[in-house]
Chain A
Amino acid sequence: MSIATRGFRGRRREPGDRLPPGQTKVSRWPVLSAGPTPDVDTDTFDFVIRDENDTEHHWNWEQLLAVGVEDITVDIHCVTHWSKLDMPWRGVSLDKLFENVDTKYDYVMAESYGGYTANIPLKDLRDGQAWIAIEAEGAPLTPEHGGPARLLVPHLYFWKSAKWIRGLTMMPTNEPGFWEQYGYNLHGDPWKEQRYW
C-alpha cells in the first residue's frame, strides 16, 4: 500500500485526445535501451526481408534510399508513459519494400543489429503504417536513437519500432520478441492500453 507523496506529480501531464490513456506529452526525446548501442556502418549495412520459402530480399544502404524516402509527421507513444507529438521523420515505406515479397504468413519478427527483436502482425506494417526510418527531427538518426535505420510503426507502442533494424522475417504465429518475452503485450496498441501480458 503506497502513500501519496506530497507535491510529487511525475512528469507534467497534458490532457487531450491526442494522447492515448496513461500517456504524458514530452518535448525532449528520451533514450531507452536494453543493451549497448550497436555500431552499424552504412558501408556494410544490409536490410533483408525473409519469407517462408527462405527467399531473401536484400537492400544495401544506397538501394534502400533508392526505393524512395518520404517525409512524414507522426506521434510516438512509449510504454513508459511518454509521448512525443508531431514528430517529423523521413523513411522508406514498408509498402514499397514488400511489393515483391510473396508470403502467406501473417506475422513478422523484426530483428536488429545487436540482437533485439519485436514481433508485429503483418497487417500492422502495411497500408502506410510503417517505415524504415533514417531521419528524425531534421537530422540523420543518431546511434542512440537507432541510427542509421530503425523500424518506425507509430501506431503501436514504440518498443515495436525496433532500433538498428537488420531485417524482417515472416512467421506463421505471433512469437514473442524481446520485451514480449519479458512481460510486454504481444500486440501493443496504445489506444487500447495494451502494455503487458
Chain B
Amino acid sequence: MTNRLDGNVLAGALANLFVQDATELQARCTKCGEIAPIAAAMVYPDAPGLIARCRSCNHVLAAIVEAGDKTYLSLSGLSGIAVPS
C-alpha cells in the first residue's frame, strides 16, 4: 500500500511560508470544486516532494519540494484559499 498521511503533516512546511498555520484554511480544488481544509488533503510523503491530493477526486492540490537553500511551492491545484483577516 502506498504510504499516505493526512494534510495536517504539511503544517511545518507551510509554516515556513505562511504567517499562521495554513492547514486549517479552507481551499477549493480546481478540478472538482470540493472545498475543504488543507489538513484534510491526502498527502503522499514518500516522494521527491510532498504531494497533497484532493480527498474527493485525487487531483494534485499542492506540491512542496525542499531543494536545500530554497523550497518550491506549488498551489496550482487550489483555485483559492480562505485566509481570515
Q: Please, which residues of chain B bring their CB within 8 A of the CB of A181? A: 63, 74, 76
Contact of B20 with A by CB under 8 A? no
Residues of chain B within 8 A (CB-CB) of A78 are: 48
How many residues of B sit at the interface, in one of the four size bands? 20 to 34
Contact present for B47 and A33 (CB under 8 Å): yes
A182 touching B63, Cβ below 8 Å: yes
Q: How many residues of A contact B (CB 8 A)?
A: 21
Q: Are B74 and A34 in contact (CB under 8 A)?
A: no
CB distance from A13 to the nearest CB of B (A): 17
Q: Which of B30-80 touch A at CB < 8 Å?
A: 44, 46-49, 51, 53, 58, 60, 63, 65, 67, 70, 72, 74, 76
Q: Do residues A33 and B67 form an inter-chain contact, with CB atoms below 8 A? A: no
Residues of A within 8 A of B48 (CB): 32, 78-80, 159, 179, 184
CA distance A181 to B74 in the complex (A): 9
B47 touches A196 (CB 8 A): no
A-B contacts besides A34-B44, A34-B49, A183-B72, 20 pairs, CB < 8 Å: A32-B46, A32-B47, A33-B2, A33-B47, A34-B51, A35-B60, A36-B2, A36-B4, A37-B2, A79-B48, A80-B48, A179-B65, A181-B74, A182-B63, A182-B65, A182-B74, A183-B63, A183-B67, A196-B67, A196-B72
A interface, CB within 8 angstroms of B: 30-37, 78-80, 144, 159, 179, 181-184, 195-197
- Residues of chain B whose beta carbon lies under 8 Å from any beta carbon of chain A: 1-4, 44, 46-49, 51, 53, 58, 60, 63, 65, 67, 70, 72, 74, 76
